[in-house]
Structure 1
């Protein structure tokens, strides 16, 4: 992982990043549990994940899965993204009361792991690029808000999220407000 970070820090051009990453090989094992999916990929740092999102935006990619699959050096991230697309986190609305226990269990597992939190922010960012990840990105946003993660630096501009889940996230922010008047402005989440 340190090698990836050094490569990314020393290279500005996304094509050069791809070329340098060709030497880095990682195996990925498909998982059915969202937490297990995230723990396999938690060695990616935030800078690397942001660079991937920026590369997708710059190239105007709308099918991130196909793009990652076509890049030999990005097979690990392609496998992780494909895994996310096939599990419940990408199919079901976890803000629904029916998933209350599952959501609380995931939050308990995730809440102290900064690497997994960064991966969840990546999933939120992916919604602006590939509409197939709107559900998982919306769920990730709700988890982040419920865990009281500071999202002021996380722009939600151009993110495609599910309205009912955004409403729940805003409601959670209002409940968690630390201001004197117990209110939360939308600028707190850069919506």
Structure 2
């Protein structure tokens, strides 16, 4: 038996890994919370725009989240029925859509957590999917620092979009009847 084989069978303290997995799950949960808040705002805005007399008839209300982002982009983007009122909201929507791949990984991939000698984690996400009737395997590897930067970007762009979509909805909200 050589030194490499012998050392690979030595168990490290489980507490370190349990704590690291808990930190990864907390980070992942915060990212998912930011995604769901953004998805809710997109859905609310689509529903509001679809109710606008005349122009709302052109707004699609699809079931799948990715399709809702696409429908909103069509409604508020260049040539869309709400382009004028949306202003720069379409650009903000695109910033959020840039996180679609990360969202897919965080929602659907399995995750393995590793630790460096200083206790900093690295998360390895592996996603198995079907594309064009073929099995596809994707991997995303994030260090703790990279993951936190990603979470901040997801949260920042999501909050910005939620705010802008709220302002857009307020332009079309029907006054409450007494």
- Which of the two has greater strand per residue? 2
TM-score range, shorter chain: under 0.3
Which one scores higher on RCO, CA 8 angstroms, separation ≥ 6?
A: 2
Q: What is the TM-score normalised by the length of structure 2? A: 0.23
Q: Larger Cα Rg: Structure 1 or Structure 2?
A: 2
